[in-house]
Amino acid sequence: MPEPLDPEMFDPVCPSDLSPIRFGDKWGGMIIRCLEDGPRRFSELRVPLRGITAKVLTQSLRALERDGMISRTERPDHLRWVEYGLTPLGRSLLAPMDVACEWSRTHWDELIDAREASAGGLSEAG
């Protein structure tokens, strides 16, 4: 069994939506990262994904399952025991995600400047 997920796994000061590179929906890449070390239950995923509602997490998990990135396994020996894990296809995304994360780290200041410039322009127009 993998170690518990770190509640601080995703820094709230470093929002993933700043990066223009997405894997699935807004939460898809973070869900994939949570499953990197092994299958997790729904309640475990909610720990580091504090900003996500149960409804949105369910929608994101279904979309990732539909796209073949994750599998959903019900354990018949336990009542209501469901785990989500990466499929081989989902696991193949980890290396490209590492590259995208490194690119975002390298260009972080530029991304922030562009986002702030855009927000400033929107507030002046509004």
User: Which is more confidently placed, 99 or 7?
Assistant: 99
Is 63 contained in some domain? yes
The DSSP annotation for 49-104 comes to -TT--HHHHHHHHHHHHHTTSEEEEE-TTSTT-EEEEE-HHHHTTHHHHHHHHHHH
- What is the domain count for the chain? 1
The answer on pLDDT for 26 being more than 90 is no
Q: How far apart are CA 113 and CA 105, in angstroms?
A: 14
Q: How many CB atoms lie within 10 A of CB 48?
A: 19
CATH of the domain at 87: 1.10.10.10
126 band by pLDDT with thresholds 50, 70 and 90? very low
Domain presence at residue 8: no
Averaged pLDDT for residues 58-67: 95
Specify if 92 maps to a domain: yes
Segments forming the whole domain that contains residue 84: 16-125
Task: Tell me the mean pLDDT in the region 39-52.
Answer: 91
* Residue range 64-86, pLDDT digits in tens: 999 999 999 988 876 778 999 99
* Within a domain: 7: no
